[in-house]
């Protein structure tokens, strides 16, 4: 073993949320991770917001829908989830016989945190005859209180598949909900949650940037606020944004989402220019602090020790699985595979 572990690994994880262990600095982490993948029949699923090194060791990189579909179908014994907690939890809900490990248990999500199940239950009780559609960025507790789960790549299609007079609660992202209300003409009741990364883009700075780069197209994630979306030439999930840059003929893009996606955009389009949309202040706020808790070292450690592991109460898992299954069935019907 290439690490110096002085405490019991379980106690270490309980204390830190991850394995806080010294690694030999000369260790070739890329080679070690490949070795562990083979030895343990493990697969690494990574979201586009992960740092470039993690994306480069991943077996699959995708948006939330793609990751859920991959997690459900994999034959690997261990799913290493390089993303945030709700994503790893979704993998466990869909594929419970697999061991699901996450590099850092504290990799949460501001959007998911904005919607605690007890408060949401009260909100639901105030709207008794409403159908609940929840964005996948929520806890298993919220999923269990929902009728259908959706992601940024299928929300519009899911909403449009329902009768026009269907009363709907949409949680937890008010920006995605407002955008879908706008494009579908619905009047869904929105939970007041938002993503800390997508709310900070500056309309003023993007407008100025556009003046300096008149040929650049603005592409935005639907978790952004309406004034930013109004500036966008294209709106979509991370995978949809990436595919757009591959098919579109423009040479320059202003990208209003987390900066991690730029790694794949540049890889797929080496001759194009990608400019991260500027946030309201001077910090690097369009880096998600939760996604960026994961590091290559933590990936290696969670594979070596097979922890932190996602464990779930079976009753909760089954209740949370129903609305995810509904989403996966509908996505297959829409050809979103």
Q: What are phi and psi of 8, to 5 degrees?
A: -60, 130
Handedness of CA 101, 223, 237, 267 (dihedral sign): negative
Instruction: Phi first, then psi: give them for residue 27, nearest 5 degrees.
Output: -65, 135
- Closest approach of Cβ 92 to ligand 13P, in Å? 17
Q: Which one of residues 64, 90, 154, 155 is an interface residue with ligand 13P (CB under 6 A)?
A: 64
- Minimum CB separation from ligand 13P for residue 223, in Å? 6
- DSSP 3-state of 293: helix
Neighbours of 290 (CB within 10 A): 23
Tell me the closest approach of the beta carbon of residue 152 to ligand 13P, in angstroms.
4
Binds ligand 13P (CB under 6 A): choice among 69, 237, 245, 294: 237
- Select from 63, 89, 297, 304 the one that contacts ligand 13P (CB under 6 A): 63
Give the residue, chosen from 131, 178, 189, 196, that forms a contact with ligand SF4 under the rule CB under 6 A.
196
Regarding 259 and contact with ligand 13P (CB under 6 A), the answer is no
Which of ligand SF4, ligand 13P, none is residue 110 near (CB under 5 to 8 Å by kind)?
A: ligand SF4
Does 295 bind ligand 13P (CB under 6 A)? Our answer is: no
Q: Which of residues 64-83 bind ligand SF4 (CB under 6 A)?
A: none
Task: Report the distance separating Cα 14 and Cα 245, nearest Å.
Answer: 42
Helices (H), the chain: 9-16, 29-40, 52-57, 64-73, 85-94, 110-113, 117-125, 140-144, 155-160, 174-184, 203-212, 226-230, 238-247, 262-268, 296-305, 314-333
88 binds ligand SF4 (CB under 6 A): no
Pick what 295 binds: ligand SF4, ligand 13P, none; C-beta below 5 to 8 Å, kind-dependent: none
Which residue bears the tokens 């419970």?
96
Which positions lie near ligand 13P, rule CB under 6 A?
Answer: 63-64, 137, 151-152, 195, 221, 223, 237-238
Which positions lie near ligand SF4, rule CB under 6 A?
Answer: 49, 84, 109-111, 137, 195-197, 258, 288, 290-291
């Amino acid at each position: 073993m290439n690490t110096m572990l002085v405490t019991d690994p379980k106690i270490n994880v309980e204390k830190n949320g991850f394995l806080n262990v010294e690694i030999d600095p000369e260790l070739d982490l890329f080679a070690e991770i490949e070795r562990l993948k083979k030895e343990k029949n493990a697969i690494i699923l990574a979201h586009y917001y992960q740092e470039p090194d993690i994306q480069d060791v991943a077996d699959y990189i995708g948006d939330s829908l793609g990751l859920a579909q991959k997690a459900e179908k994999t034959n690997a014994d261990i799913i290493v989830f390089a993303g945030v907690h709700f994503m790893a939890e979704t993998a466990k809900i869909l594929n419970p016989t697999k061991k699901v490990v996450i590099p850092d248990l504290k990799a949460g999500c501001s959007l998911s945190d904005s919607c605690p199940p007890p408060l949401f239950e009260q909100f639901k009780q105030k709207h008794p005859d409403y159908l609940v559609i929840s964005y996948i960025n929520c806890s298993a507790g919220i999923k269990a209180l929902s009728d259908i789960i959706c992601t940024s790549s299928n929300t519009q299609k899911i909403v449009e598949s329902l009768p026009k007079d269907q009363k709907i609660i949409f949680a937890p992202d008010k920006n995605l909900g407002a955008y879908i209300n706008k494009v579908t003409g619905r009047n869904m009741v929105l939970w007041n949650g938002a993503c800390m990364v997508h709310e900070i883009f500056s309309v003023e700075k993007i407008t100025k940037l556009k003046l300096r780069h008149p040929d650049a197209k603005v592409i935005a994630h639907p978790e952004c606020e309406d004034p930013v979306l109004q500036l966008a030439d294209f709106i979509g999930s991370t995978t949809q944004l990436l595919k757009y840059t591959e098919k579109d003929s423009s040479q320059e893009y202003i990208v209003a989402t987390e900066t991690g996606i730029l790694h794949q955009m540049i890889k797929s389009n080496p001759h194009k220019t990608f400019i991260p949309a500027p946030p309201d202040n001077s910090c690097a706020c369009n880096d998600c602090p939760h996604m960026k808790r994961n590091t290559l070292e933590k990936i290696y450690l969670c594979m070596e020790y097979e922890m932190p592991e996602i464990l779930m109460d079976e009753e909760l898992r089954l209740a949370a699985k129903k609305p995810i299954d509904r989403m996966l069935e509908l996505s297959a019907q829409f050809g979103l595979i």
